[in-house]
Amino acid sequence: METNGLKRVVITGIGVLSPVGIGIKENWDNLINGRSGIVPITRFDNTKFPSKIAGEVKGFNPTDFMSEKISKRIDSFVRFGIAAAKMAVEDSKLNVLPEKAHKYGVITGVGLGGLGAIEQYRDVLVAKGPERVSPFFIPMAIPNMASGYISILFALKGPNTVMCTACAAGSHAIGEAFKSIQRGVSDVIIAGGCESVITPLALAGFSSMKALSTRNNDPQKASRPFDKKRDGFVIGEGAGMLVLESLDHALERGANIRAEVIGYGLTGDAYHITAPPDDGEGGARCMQMALDDAGIRPEDVDYINAHGTSTPLNDICETRAIKHVFGEYANKLAISSTKSMTGHLLGGAGGIEAVFSVKTIEEGMIPPTINLEEPDDECDLDYVPNVARKKDVNVVLSNSFGFGGTNAVLILKKFL
C-alpha cells in the first residue's frame, strides 16, 4: 500500500463534459472517431470579432445535476464543475461517511473563473445602478466557488481549494490532490478543472493577443496542432473531474480502480508572461521532474497527451522539450493532442485530458490528432495523425503549460 512511506494513489471515478460530449461515453466515442466539437459561436453576436468559433458544450441541462435554485446562483464554470464532479462520484460509487469527512476534499483548477458574471453585472451596474447588482455576484465571480460548492454538496471537510494557474490549473489540481493523499493528509479528493469563458471580453482579449484561430469558414478544421497551417488555438469550455483516493482506502471499500497516479511535476519558465522559451526548457524540466517522481525511465512511457494547443510557438517548443527529455526514444513515442477536437479549455484542459488519459489506458486506444495534414517541419514526431490507434498503453504522460510560464505534468499508469 506504501512505497518509501508514501501511499499509492488511484483513480476510482471520472466525469467529463466538453465540446465533444456530455459524459464519458459520448466524449470517448467522439474522440476515437476523430469528431471535432468546434462550431460557430452561438451565444453572442460575433460579427466584429476576428475569431468567430469556439468549442461550446452542447445540450447541457444544469438541472440534470443540481437544483434550479443552485443553478441560478452560480456561474457556468461552477455548473460544469459540479456536473463533472457528480459524474465522477457516481462512477466511483463513493459514499462520504460523516466520521471520515475531514479526510475527504476537493481541489479544482480554474483559469479565469466567473468572467461571464463579471461582464454581465458590469453591464447591469452601468445601465441600472449598483442596487441592481445581485448579492450572488461575488460568489459567481470568484474562482474557488467550484471547489466551494462541490465541498458543500458532497459534505467534504478536508482540503477545499483552487489552483488558478491558467492553462496548467487542472493538472496542478490533480497533482496537488495526488500529493495530499500520498502524504496521508487526505484519503479521498475530487480533483480536476473547469472553465467557461466563451464571452465577448475573453474572445476580444485573446484575439488582441493574436492567439486565436481565425479559420472561421471551416471551424472543425481550425484546431490543428503540429500542422504547418495552424494559426492559433480555439477556445473551449467544460470540465473534467476525477476521484482520487489512497489505494488502501479504495481496496477497503471495494472500489473499481481505473488507473494509478504515479508522478507529478511542476516548474516555472521564468521567461515570458505568454510565450514558452524557444527550447522548451521549463516544460522539459517538468516532464523530467514527473518521471523522477514516478521513479520510471523515459522508455517506460507509452503515450503523451500533449499540451498541443495549435499555436505556432507552443507546438514547436513542446516538441523540442519532448526530444530533450526522451532523446532517440521520442521518435518511437505515440503523442497526440485531443485539443484538436475539443479546443483549448484553459483551466479545464488538464482535467479533461486526465480523464482522456485514463480512458486511453483502459481501452488500449490512443485518440488521434485530427487536422494534421501537413506537419510543421519542426514538429516531426509521431502525433497519431487523424486516425485513432490501437495500442497497449501502460503509462501515460499528460502535459499542461500555462501563461505566466507555469507548467504541470502528470503521469498515470495502468493499475496492477
Decide: helix, strand or coil at residue 241.
Answer: strand
Task: Please give the torsion angle defined by the CA atoms of residues 15, 196, 163 and 360, in that order, rounded to the nearest 10 degrees.
Answer: 40
Catalytic site includes residue 307? yes
Task: Please give the torsion angle defined by the CA atoms of residues 295, 298, 302 and 306, in that order, rounded to the nearest 10 degrees.
Answer: 100
Residue 33 burial (C-beta neighbours within 10 Å; 0-12, 13-18, 19+): middle
Q: Cα(262)–Cα(16) distance, rounded to whole angstroms?
A: 22
Catalytic site includes residue 167? yes
Using an 8 Å Cβ cutoff, are 142 and 161 in contact?
no
Altogether, the residues listed in the chain come to a count of 416
The residue from 194, 249, 286, 307 that is catalytic is 307
Decide: helix, strand or coil at residue 145.
Answer: helix
The residue from 167, 286, 317, 379 that is catalytic is 167
Q: How far apart are the first and last CA of the chain?
A: 12
The residue from 164, 286, 317, 344 that is catalytic is 344
- The C-alpha cell that represents 386 in the structure block: 487523424
Amino acid letter for position 56: E
Sign of CA dihedral 209, 215, 219, 221: negative
Pairing assessment for the beta strands 104-109 and 188-195 based on DSSP bridges = parallel
Catalytic site includes residue 249? no
**Which residue is associated with the grid cell 524557444?**
278
Which residues are designated catalytic? 167, 307, 344
